Amino acid sequence: QVQLVESGGGLVQAGGSLRLSCAAPPRTFMWYSVGWFRQAPGKDREFVGGMAANAGTTYYGDSVKGRFTMFTDNRKLTVYLQMNNLIPEDTAIYYCAVDKTTNRRTPTTNVDDYDVWGQGTQVTVSS
């Protein structure tokens, strides 16, 4: 049973940085793609970034490209989302999720393709 645990959210001023973490059981991120999504009040869940299995190809949403970066630790137990130059529009609950389709070479941006979700962590950016 895959369970994802997110951490690292908080309150930050515009222009600041935060690093979110998504921890999973061993081999999860070796076998499956992982994605980060966010959801602001009254809005649909939005794709932020994705990483293919075994620290493969990464892909980012247009609204965060150049500011956010995904990476993993050496043992691939945790996937991080480094968020720099934050703006108030980045305020949302951030979720990590795993796509258990094993033959994807690039991460999918479709929220419905992700099978397991973390509990979410709140990020608030003040102006």
pLDDT in tens, 38-53: 999 999 999 999 999 9
**pLDDT value for 60:** 98
SS3 106: coil
Residue with structure tokens 């869940």? Answer: 45
Token readout for 23 is 């921890």
**pLDDT value for 105:** 85
Q: Is 34 exposed, middle or buried (0-12, 13-18, 19+ CB in 10 A)?
A: buried
**pLDDT value for 2:** 86
C-alpha span between 67 and 53 (Å, rounded) = 22
54 vs 123, higher pLDDT? 123
Buried residues in 10-23 as b, exposed as e (16+ CB within 10 A):
eebeeeeebebbbb
In which element (H, E) is residue 7 found? strand 5-7
pLDDT in tens, 65-122: 999 999 998 888 999 999 999 999 999 999 999 999 877 889 999 999 999 999 999 9
**pLDDT value for 26:** 93
